[in-house]
Structure 1
């Protein structure tokens, strides 16, 4: 890589770091309540009315501020992440170690559902906190702060065990929502909870270097993004029976269901593309190889052999997202197998995931010496970045979606208790930053 190219990549890294920190500066300190976090309205910047706190929003906010710390952001990134960890432990966590889905500001449960989707984000929050060096506290520990990361590491390991004990089924995938006694509520399986489990396992691997987390990612990705997708022409269906058979009729009469709409979601294809690009980054044992080199150890003969070209599969999913879902002013929310829209609303999170996916895939293309593909993906990356202004509100917070009529369609904020504290934009810019840094390292 010549110096001109290096400087261009360094500029991309600086730009994405600045975007990440700008997202967090909008959130801090207004999103912090006396306990936990509040969501901010994209029009006014004021906190939403009411005192309900959603587990997913709490965990996403912790992850946001933790990646701000990882990007060498201001000291308040760590303070804000620690603030959220207190609430996660003291309010959301139940006596049995599970986590309530919704609580009020005083920590009283409003919804005691044990959600696989929600617990995947608990794992993500602890993983990001460990990676950021947030210390102390935890199960059996004292308060947060000081004393290294042992307390958060204990929470991370306890959450992994909890997910293993209560959510992993015989296939090694996550089942769905349970009652407080861990009785399954319905014979449903969903790709979404498993996708976010992959995200959390990847973050846990990054934080700990424990290869068992990467094994989990491979297993889930192989099942969802390869084996099951092969039955639907390579596309990712969302809903399954308890036996992991495609349930094409699920919620067919609720096309605008908030979390489980029928149809194919381009945003999830982009999100999986990003995750598989990261798996490709780690699959070759790059981190483990570097660590062995530092320890002076030889390569092991019993390392897992890759069975899937994750980079190629990630590109297929990315292309499926843009070919079937991209509409210049965002991605359609859902579409049928032939690509015809079911719900044409443009969701901001889908655009953000495409930003992260194109950044991660461009880095992988460059690492493989495929300059033409890297340029194509960077072109898409720039196109996506230009469209972020369509979703950002006057207060700097993203709207949930735009209605599809045209680029000037109505913008809609999320309903309380919302689950999106600009976690998707923050994640997109974090991925842009570290993918550029990885490209510099590759070069």
Structure 2
């Protein structure tokens, strides 16, 4: 059984570790997982700002203390006053005074801006719904490339920096559109999400045996050699990522929950299960997920990232909810028991990724390399967003299951 009360407790405990130390006089900061102290680097990353807003807004949606709303409003104010440019769009990195450090117009970052507004709107924060509409329009005008998906990073004048397309920015755009639908009931957002999902997880994946490649040319052809000589590239490593297969599994489960169109013939839930199974079969290492694997199924980077484990928690919870009561738990037809079993294993492993201060490490090295935990480097983008999101999904999936008719 998925106990929503326990997941709500995990969500609020995660946020309580962050509050109030994550909040600066202006914007939000990353906390060190060992000491709990804020990093001294004064750069503020758009993704971290937006993730913090989304985190605390989910706490408010889950009925958390008033400081959840206060913290979300604090982050939203910085998003609008410092990251947002008068010339349009959002600056990727600013300093503590709001001065631009990196003016890149990032598709990935703008997807998180939409997510921040959507979660804030669902929490009832004044003005957030207007932000949802404006940011969705901005994505449509500046980033959509005519294929239903987003192009890549641009200069401040919106000229694209390289002939590149990436599934990661599109995955998070899908996530943001789903959140926008949850906040507004506007099915156009859900249809935008499902178009991206169909393109990435069905049409393009058909060319790679159902697995999800990360990198593409501007014509959406698989670029199998992209960054092949940089297996540990911080943001665009080569290979398949189990963590992203899990993340997509969760998103497809949500599309199934909301009855989104553009589904594959066998349904969003079945495709979600396929991606979950691929992640487990090819990436699970009894304590975490290997970061990347190659076309031959061999591991490329064995480091185990905390965010991937967190995505496993969220995916397992969502898939267990979809399978419960249907008798459909994948090949075993176990009504969700298989996903609940994995959920327990993932939750047990999570303790190894929390530092003494309660904040998650970025990753653990592979056991062959000692297995040591590694803290994030500034400017950080991970204010425990993935664990918070996973616990939020566990909470609401559990509530849906409790409220379902027998």
TM-score between the two structures when normalised by the length of structure 2: 0.97
Contact 1:283/1:306 (<8 A) preserved: no
How far apart, CA to CA, are the structure 2 residues paired with 1:31 and 1:338? 42
How far apart are 1:70 and its partner, in Å?
0.5
How far apart are 1:440 and its partner, in Å?
1.4
Partner of residue 29, structure 1: 20
How far apart, CA to CA, are the structure 2 residues paired with 1:330 and 1:337? 20
Partner of residue 340, structure 1: 298
Contact 1:333/1:347 (<8 A) preserved: yes
Q: Which moved more, 1:425-434 or 1:399-408?
A: 399-408
Partner of residue 438, structure 1: 400
Spell out, residue by residue over 1:345-365, the C-alpha distance to the aligned partner (whole angstroms, 9 max, x if none).
000000000000000000000
How far apart are 1:408 and its partner, in Å?
6.2
Q: Equivalent of 1:271, from 240, 247, 255?
A: 247
1:218 aligns with 2:194: yes
Q: Equivalent of 2:367, from 391, 405, 418?
A: 405
Partner of residue 356, structure 1: 314
How far apart, CA to CA, are the structure 1 residues paired with 2:262 and 2:217? 31
Q: Equivalent of 2:157, from 165, 168, 181?
A: 181
How far apart are 1:97 and its partner, in Å?
2.5
Gaps of 5+ in 1: 1-7, 136-150, 285-303
How far apart, CA to CA, are the structure 1 residues paired with 2:321 and 2:369? 30
Partner of residue 428, structure 1: 390
How far apart, CA to CA, are the structure 1 residues paired with 2:43 and 2:160? 24
Asked which structure has the greater CA Rg, the reply is 1
1:117 aligns with 2:102: no
Spell out, residue by residue over 1:223-278, the C-alpha distance to the aligned partner (whole angstroms, 9 max, x if none).
00000000000000000000000000100011000110000000000000000000
1:320 aligns with 2:296: no
Spell out, residue by residue over 1:28-59, the C-alpha distance to the aligned partner (whole angstroms, 9 max, x if none).
00100001111100000000012100000000
Partner of residue 139, structure 2: 163
TM-score between the two structures when normalised by the length of structure 1: 0.89
How far apart, CA to CA, are the structure 1 residues paired with 2:373 and 2:22? 21
Mapping of residues 13-412 of structure 1, within 5 Å: 13-135=4-126, 151-283=127-259, 306-308=263-265, 309-370=267-328, 372-405=334-367, 409-412=371-374
Cα distance change on mapping 1:318 and 1:129 into 2, 3 Å: same
How far apart, CA to CA, are the structure 2 residues paired with 1:133 and 1:58? 19
Contact 1:271/1:357 (<8 A) preserved: yes
Contact 2:326/2:335 (<8 A) preserved: no
Q: Which runs of 4+ in 1 moved over 3 A?
A: 304-308
How far apart are 1:172 and its partner, in Å?
1.4
RMSD: 1.2
How far apart are 1:368 and its partner, in Å?
2.2
How far apart are 1:96 and its partner, in Å?
2.1
Gaps of 5+ in 2: none
How far apart, CA to CA, are the structure 2 residues paired with 1:74 and 1:400? 27
Cα distance change on mapping 1:257 and 1:407 into 2, 3 Å: closer
